[in-house]
Amino acid sequence: MIKTMSFTTSTFSTSSISSLLVFAILMLFAGGCNDGAIGQKANLSTKADSVSYSLGYNYGRILAQEGIDDLDLANYAAGVFDAMYDSVEAISATDRDSILMAFQQELQVKQEMARAAESEKNLKEGEDFLAENRNNEGVVETESGLQYRVIEEGTGDKPSATNTVEVHYRGTLLNGEEFDSSYRRNQTATFPLNRVIEGWTEGLQLMSVGSKYEFFIPAYLAYGDTPPQGSPIKAGSVLVFEVELIDIVR
């Protein structure tokens, strides 16, 4: 719920790609680096096999997250090999920089288009959900569009936006997938109310210490089109939080 939080560090860079693929690339060369070897079931008979597969799998997930689906592993392997063993480079440093800069620009456009399409779909789904949810028993909608339901009403003080609060919470998507939970970590969270998403800043000011509410937060009061990197939260997503206000710390 904190605006600046990031779940992973999957930002595309040539250095991170190289570090992840070294073992996998070497194993490709050891196996002849032919097309038939790519796509076969892993052979995990040694520790090196397991390390190679694990690095390759993690890198593959980064590729999928970044939308890179046309990488030529054989040529990538050739580039790694030439660099590691000081072989004659097939492409000059100047040309490589130009190629990668153009590729990153193309990738950014592709990602923005995919994010816009995803956001449009999720916004429509969220609007439909909120339109129906506001008619459910116990659900209240504020002027901003935040919806909430009182699970348990406390008797303590209510925080202001400048207060720091201690809470327990569970966050889910509309499909029920849990993306974050202090309960799961068995540790409360403490943060200033003016450092979190707008739906939380508004919603927790409605709560008294000891209360437990359920929030239904529209995308524009959550992360909008820029969810935390690596999070299951997608652009345009409505978020559902169960929040327990433990204390006003200061």
Q: Locate CATH 3.10.50.40 in the chain.
A: 118-248
pLDDT for 1 equals 60
180 is catalytic: yes
12 is catalytic: no
pLDDT for 38 equals 59
Nearest to 236 by CA among 162, 147, 125, 133: 125
The CATH number of the structural domain formed by 118-248 is 3.10.50.40
191 is catalytic: no
Residues with Cβ within 8 Å of residue 82, at least 6 apart in sequence: 88, 89, 90
Which one of 217, 223, 246, 248 is the catalytic residue? 223
Which one of 169, 213, 215, 216 is the catalytic residue? 169
Give me the phi and psi of 195, to 5 degrees please.
-115, 10
pLDDT for 20 equals 44
pLDDT for 10 equals 39
Which one of 148, 241, 246, 248 is the catalytic residue? 241
Rounded Cα distance, 159 and 154, in Å: 13
Which one of 23, 62, 148, 197 is the catalytic residue? 197
103 is catalytic: no
What are the pLDDT tens digits along the chain (250 aa)?
A: 655 433 333 344 444 444 445 545 544 544 444 555 556 678 888 888 888 788 778 877 877 777 777 778 788 778 878 887 888 889 998 999 999 899 889 888 888 888 888 889 999 999 999 999 999 999 999 999 999 999 999 999 999 999 999 999 999 999 999 999 999 999 999 999 999 999 999 999 999 999 999 999 999 999 998 888 778 899 899 999 999 999 999 8
- The separation between CA 47 and the C-alpha centre of its own chain, rounded to angstroms, equals 31
- The separation between CA 234 and the C-alpha centre of its own chain, rounded to angstroms, equals 8
53 is catalytic: no
C-beta of residue 238 within 8 angstroms of C-beta of residue 214: no
C-beta of residue 213 within 8 angstroms of C-beta of residue 243: yes
pLDDT for 190 equals 95
The crossing angle, in degrees rounded to 10, of helices 14-30 and 73-84 is: 100
223 is catalytic: yes
